[in-house]
Amino acid sequence: MDLTLSQMMTKRSEIKKKINLIIDLQKNGVESSEILKVMEEVDRQIFLEESLKPKSYENIALPIDCGQTISQPLIVALMTQYLDIKKEMRILEIGTGSGYQTFILSKLARFVYTVERHKFLSIKAYNLLKELGVSNVFCKHGDGGLGWKDQAPFDRIIVTACAQDIPGRLVEQLSENGKMIVPIGDEHNDQILKKISKKEGKLIVHDLVNVRFVPLIEGKEN
């Protein structure tokens, strides 16, 4: 089907915005060519409401349902890079949200297990990922702080909500030599993104960058 002049101009504008976004990611510390490739391939528009689609290639967080947000692309890319994912790995994601981060993880790991406390978001993300042909993601509606014990241990854990302290139950589900990325701090202030590595049963903690995430809340919402 031939495109109209208006459609062609819109398409060119989107391509230019996406190129500029990838350049911005590179300038701000995203060095992995594999992650940059995935970030370029994944259309963030798919995970946004119609009114927000024009902002999809802006490097900002945007609102989604249930008072949650879709993280800015830079934070998504950096958190993914800090995880140091290998293709054979099993990933636990706490906070499915829109499914954007989930989809990116699915292209880098063998399996992704994702937990969302808001049932509406969990079902919506599951249906969207299914429409996109994703077959290596398993979604669960539940309390993210409890992780997914039945499927543990996990090679990597990513938490997309801030916790007051390092979540002990999630640490228990981390495999030996595993890594977890989690924002630690108060919801009303900047938090510190931390990388927790487990070696010989001991934890090694590194501070990474300042971030702002919604809080990790106990329990689940219907």
Cα dihedral 85, 196, 154, 156 in deg (nearest 10): -20
Locate 26 and state its tokens: 């590179």
200, 201, 197: which is closest to 181 by C-alpha? 197
Q: How many residues does the chain have?
A: 222
Locate 207 and state its tokens: 């501070």
Catalytic residue among 6, 33, 71, 122: 71
Known active-site residue 71: yes
Alpha-carbon distances of 18 from 10, 45, 46, 91, 161, rounded to whole Å: 12, 11, 14, 27, 26
State the number of CA atoms in the 13 A half-sphere of 176 facing the CB.
2
Residue in this structure with the two tokens 């790991």, named with its chain if needed: 109
Question: Which sequence positions are flagged as catalytic?
Answer: 71
